[in-house]
Amino acid sequence: MKLMDIGEVCERTGLRPSALRYYEDVGLISSLCRSGLRRQFAPEVVTQLALIQMGKSAGFSLDEISEMFGDNGQPNVPRERLHRKAEDLQRQIAELKAMREVIKHVADCPAPTHMECPTFRRLVTLAARRAGTSSRRVRRKPHLR
Amino acid sequence: MKLMDIGEVCERTGLRPSALRYYEDVGLISSLCRSGLRRQFAPEVVTQLALIQMGKSAGFSLDEISEMFGDNGQPNVPRERLHRKAEDLQRQIAELKAMREVIKHVADCPAPTHMECPTFRRLVTLAARRAGTSSRRVRRKPHLR
DNA sequence: GCTTGACCTCAAGTTGACTTGAAGTGCTAG
DNA sequence: CTAGCACTTCAAGTCAACTTGAGGTCAAGC
């Protein structure tokens, strides 16, 4: 089980060193030891980081992610709670689908002003009703250098 | 066509006055006129705001939203671009579904450590592969008072 | 005339998730 | 022995999307 420098982890995950150090800081991942000053990571962090990236793009905050999969990918949260997360996700999926329909409609509908198109209004008001009931929050645009 | 005070718009949308003023500031919505100091909004802003909320919970930034539906809900963006947005959304939907599967699995799988469970690893690596190809970014947790 | 309540403006603060920069460490190669 | 490189720490900066707070306006009701 060969250990990796931060640079190698970066290469394999596409993340930047500063991000990995930050994740370690907040306890999302951990390095096994140091070689001199350098952090040494076990190969599993690559999988863990994949999980983290997935969680992020699903709209979970780092806090929620570490809640779901503790320091080593183990969930430290009751099943019931996880099932609620899954339901949350289900709701967010529905919202995204609604949004996709609206966008497709806008792209293709020839009506001069969408606010007057009944299909459009129906899509939006339906979606708005749902939006009120959901509490999903989603991550923001990362600052891409 | 009766005009509305900011307070009424807030009531109908669940948004806070400060948010509406901010949206007006950045040009997402606009008030028709003032009565004294008070902004007067047309009833359509309610629909517009629903659209905005939908966009946000779909992970679009306010910038992207105003790009998609200009100041009055009219898109000022070529169809082709909108179709790309729809495809983006499709990808994000797939990611969310993957995440949902992972969570469901974690909730129910009896394996002592998930990192060793083959199903888990398969789900994660599959999802990671996809995550690399997508560029969807998603809004962050709002600061709920 | 005075209070109350709903609005207003403007500047500054907050949050999460990093990034940036300055200054230092430690191994390797020439 | 020195240079270079990949790493290190730590404090401060950045970004979007608001919120908060101080101080002001205005119409309505007592």
Domain ranges of chain B: 4-68, 88-139
Closest nt by CA–C1' to A19: C18
Instruction: Write phi, then psi, for B16 (nearest 5 degrees).
Output: -100, 155
What's the sign of the alpha-carbon dihedral B48, B52, B55, B61? positive
> How many CB pairs lie under 8 A apart between chains A and B?
181
Q: C22 C1' – B123 CA distance, angstroms?
A: 42
Which residues, in sequence order, are CB contacts of A57 under 8 Å at separation 6+?
Answer: A139, B92, B95, B99, B131, B134, B136, B138
Output the pLDDT for position A117: 84
pLDDT band at A131 (very low <50, low <70, confident <90, very high): low
Q: Give the global pTM.
A: 0.83
- With 70 as the cut, is the pLDDT of residue A4 above it? yes
**Phi-psi domain of A36 (left: phi exceeds 0; alpha: psi -120 through 50; beta: other):** left
* Chain A residues within an 8 Å CB radius of B95: 54, 57-58
* Chain A residues within an 8 Å CB radius of B48: 115
* Chain A residues within an 8 Å CB radius of B82: 103-104, 106-107
Q: D16 C1' – A61 CA distance, angstroms?
A: 15
Nearest neighbour of A54 by CB, restricted to B48, B68, B99: B99
Decide: helix, strand or coil at residue B94.
Answer: helix
d(CA B79, CA B71) in angstroms, rounded, equals: 18
Cβ of residue A37 lies below 7 Å from strand D:
yes
Chain A 108-137 residues whose Cβ is under 7 Å from strand D = none
Output the pLDDT for position B74: 67
Residue appearing with tokens 């939908």: B54
- Whole-number CA gyration radius for chain A: 21
Which residue would you say has higher pLDDT here, A109 or A137? A109
Output the pLDDT for position B12: 94
- Could you read off the pLDDT tens digit of each residue along chain B, which spans 145 residues? 689 999 999 999 999 999 999 999 999 999 999 999 999 999 999 999 998 988 888 778 999 888 887 666 666 677 887 888 888 888 888 888 988 988 888 888 877 777 778 888 888 777 666 555 444 455 544 444 4
Instruction: Write phi, then psi, for B113 (nearest 5 degrees).
Output: -130, 120
- Closest C-alpha to A50, from B128, B132, B91: B128
Q: D24 C1' – B138 CA distance, angstroms?
A: 38
CATH number of B4-68: 1.10.1660.10
Q: What is the pLDDT of residues A41-88, one digit of tens each?
A: 999 999 899 989 888 888 888 998 888 876 666 666 778 888 888 888
Q: What is the pLDDT of residues A100-124, one digit of tens each?
A: 998 888 888 877 777 778 888 888 7
Cβ of residue B122 lies below 7 Å from strand D:
no
Do B74 and A121 count as a contact with CB atoms less than 8 A apart?
no
Output the pLDDT for position A60: 85
* Chain B residues within an 8 Å CB radius of A10: none
- With 70 as the cut, is the pLDDT of residue A132 above it? no
